[in-house]
Amino acid sequence: KVIIDCDVGVDDAQAIMIALSQDSIEILAITTVTGNQNTEQATNNTLKVLDYCGERNIPVYKGITEGLTGRCDFVELSAYHGQDGLGDAQGLREPDRTPLKDKHAVLAMIDLVKANPGEASIWNKISILALAPLTNLAIAGRLDPTFLTNVKAVHMMGGNKHAVGNHLVTAEFNFGADPEAAHIVLNEFKCNMSLITWEFTLENPMTWAWFDEYAAVNTTKGRFIYNITRHTFENGGPYITCDPFTVAVVARPDIITKSKMVYLTVELDGRITRGQVVVDWRGVMGKPPNVLLIENVDMSKFKRMMLDSVDAPRTIGGSRRSNYY
């Protein structure tokens, strides 16, 4: 049982589609927050993803519209996500808005977690797949302290392990966009946590040769993915995806080939390093490990999950990218 908390851009869309394709995951709700896009656009993008996947029964809740302090200096991400978050794809239909609910995302999170306390079995508890700035989670924890302990696990995409930034000099986007929220989650939540870092995605890029297979799948979902990702390959550069890894390791922990329990936190005060994750590799701080740091996965199994998410047959071929390179 999971809640997906996201700021739907292209990789969030891919992550949601993986979750929908995996029998091991039951999505109870999708919540949105400002990040790659403002909350309104992220919510509309979420509805589009669900619509193209033929999913009408998962509720969507709109969340927080800014970081805890309002100090966020967002970077330009349009080269990857486009201005609208879905690659500025032309011709996408307006989504069915039936899944969108009136309740605020933070209150929905709190209520869902309360309704699934896991008293009979830990399997009844809810995990959160956090693919965006952690503002919704931090506020939920502050509004209801039982939320901190009743959540089964928080699985995050964000942060960094060697100070490689994509937001500021040493900060990754999701943590750098709201460092205070990340600090609250890392230091106050009393549940299992795992992290896919920015460096992990840099170390595990997807080749364009493989992308040709992925983007050539001639299904409704495959054509949707092609339309929202073509902006990325038209702009050149390596094909890097982030959020799908977080969903994949939750759906299939067996794809994890290397991981390490560590204590990590986030810098709040540094003039240059604000938002940077600090990993206590040698235990100098004397604090117990709080996060499972995912370091490697079986990429062949991960790629198969990506293909399954667009209903690809087991043998596929062709290329839609050849006209551009």
Region of residue 19 (left: phi > 0; alpha: psi -120 to 50; beta: else): alpha
Stated as kind and residue range, the H or E segment containing 5 is: strand 2-6
Sequence-separated (6 or more) residues with CB below 8 Å from residue 1: 26, 28, 116, 123, 124, 125, 126, 127, 152
Strands 256-262, 153-157: pairing kind: unpaired
If you ran DSSP here, which 8-state letter would residue 96 be given?
A: P
If you ran DSSP here, which 8-state letter would residue 12 be given?
A: H
d(CA 161, CA 277): 6
d(CA 196, CA 244): 10
If you ran DSSP here, which 8-state letter would residue 206 be given?
A: B
Give the residue from 201, 187, 215 showing the smallest Cα distance to 157: 201
CA separation, residue 185 to residues 55, 141, 151, 176 (Å): 30, 8, 12, 14
Q: Does 7 participate in catalysis according to the annotation? A: yes
Specify whether the CB–CB gap between 80 and 237 falls below 8 A.
no
| Residue of 5, 7, 11, 51 marked catalytic | 7
Catalytic residues, by residue number, are 7
